[in-house]
Amino acid sequence: MLPFPCPQFLGTCTDVQHVQSCVRPDSPQVIHTDTWVSFVGGGIISPLSFPSSSLHHSRPHCRCTIDDRVTRVAWLNRSTILYAGNDKWSIDPRVIILVNTPTQYSIMIQNVDVYDEGPYTCSVQTDNHPKTSRVHLIVQVPPQIMNISSDVTVNEGSSVTLLCLAIGRPEPTVTWRHLSVKEGQGFVSEDEYLEISDIKRDQSGEYECSALNDVAAPDVRKVKITVNYPPYISKAKNTGVSVGQKGILSCEASAVPMAEFQWFKEDTRLATGLDGVRIENKGRMSTLTFFNVSEKDYGNYTCVATNKLGNTNASITLYGPGAVIDGVNSASRALACLWLSGTLLAHFFIKF
């Protein structure tokens, strides 16, 4: 393989499996650069053909190094003459001649496109006979995501299909990754389509589509999936308080969309300002506050959490000193008995 000279401002040159390219050390992903294709020899080089990679929208240069034995020179693309000496035959304004001297004959293609890919031939006429040498230009295009699904909201248990279409040369690899999980566990699939059946609430969040072909930095886009599910009460605790003190009952519910709360005592719905209570809802939490607890405030209260997919409720007890609050778990047959510390308890009975 003959040396592949690279202009100093482009940095270093590499030759890997006969594919030669110039890379700027300060910007390895640069898109607008110059690629030089060089021919060296007496009259013209020995018969030689090698591919040269060039980035989309770059400016590849094709250069023949010649000597005084050459009488006529021309550049061709396939069978089409681009330049013959100083005479331009091509009607493409992007193709220009750079150098035409006794030692060098160079052309440049500005803003190279994928349609410029193919063989380019330097043809010279010497005193003896014509000689030619050919280079095959490969145009590389950075990855670009052209079409991706919009953010989507679905109900739990539904099926979801996300689409991510990308172009590039070589053809980019498309990868989907779930960003809302622990690092290293977010890989989902390596395909343009991401299909999720019977989606669960923990599968909500951002999904990242990445298109990569090693020509430039990957193109990355994101899609958000929102999973709706009915409320479930995750926290509801009985509370004991003495007469005349402040008492607070709390109820926490998870739901998407956010749950709306209601409080009941027996069949009566409670409201802020009535009977000396205040109801306050903040996000997932609802509180029922008694500013001055009286005997009539003791008893069972029901917290109801509702959204468009359903509702759920929990019973919460406000009790006073010495009260015994019991609950039986039918699955475990366990009995829980609670009373306030510092109060007298003579005895209690358990009946089956």
* SS (HEC) of 276-296: CEEEEEECCEEEEEECCCCHH
> Is residue 42, in this structure, part of any structural domain at all?
no
Identify which of 306, 249, 300, 307 has the alpha carbon closest to the alpha carbon of residue 278: 249
Q: Which domain holds residue 137?
A: 53-141
Residue 262 lies in a domain: yes
Neighbour tally for 266: CB within 10 Å: 8
- Same domain, yes or no, for 161 and 183? yes
Q: What is the pLDDT of residues 202-241, one digit of tens each?
A: 999 999 999 999 888 999 999 999 999 999 999 999 999 9
Q: From CA 243, how far away is CA 76, in angstroms rounded?
A: 101
Q: Are residues 210 and 257 in the same domain?
A: no
Q: Within 10 A of 157 (CB to CB), how many other CB atoms are there?
A: 13
Q: Tell me if 127 is assigned to some domain.
A: yes
Q: What is the pLDDT of residues 45-96, one digit of tens each?
A: 323 233 344 445 555 556 666 666 767 888 999 889 998 988 999 999 998 8
User: Does residue 341 sit within a domain?
Assistant: no
Residue 346 lies inside a defined structural domain of this protein: no
Q: How confident is the model at residue 134 (pLDDT cuts 50, 70, 90)?
A: confident
Q: How high is the pLDDT of residue 322?
A: 67
Q: What is the pLDDT of residues 271-323, one digit of tens each?
A: 988 778 999 999 999 999 999 999 999 999 999 999 999 999 999 999 998 66
Is 76 among the domain residues? yes
C-alpha radius of gyration, the chain, whole number: 39
**Same domain, residue pair 68 and 108:** yes
Does 186 share its domain with 211? yes
**Residue where one domain finishes, among candidates 229, 253, 281:** 229
Whether 215 and 244 share a structural domain = no
Of 229, 260, 276, the residue that ends a domain is: 229
The tally of domains found in the chain comes to 3
**Sign for the pseudo-dihedral over CA of 14, 19, 21, 26:** negative
**CATH code at position 268:** 2.60.40.10
Asked, for residue 78, whether it belongs to a domain, the answer is yes
In this prediction the pTM is 0.68
For residues 168-193, average pLDDT: 83
Give dist(CA 316, CA 313) in Å, integer: 10
Last residue of a domain, one of 182, 209, 229: 229
Provide the pLDDT confidence category of residue 30 given band limits of 50, 70 and 90. very low
- Mean pLDDT lowest for which of 122-126, 324-328, 331-335? 331-335
Pairing of strands 152-155, 219-236: parallel
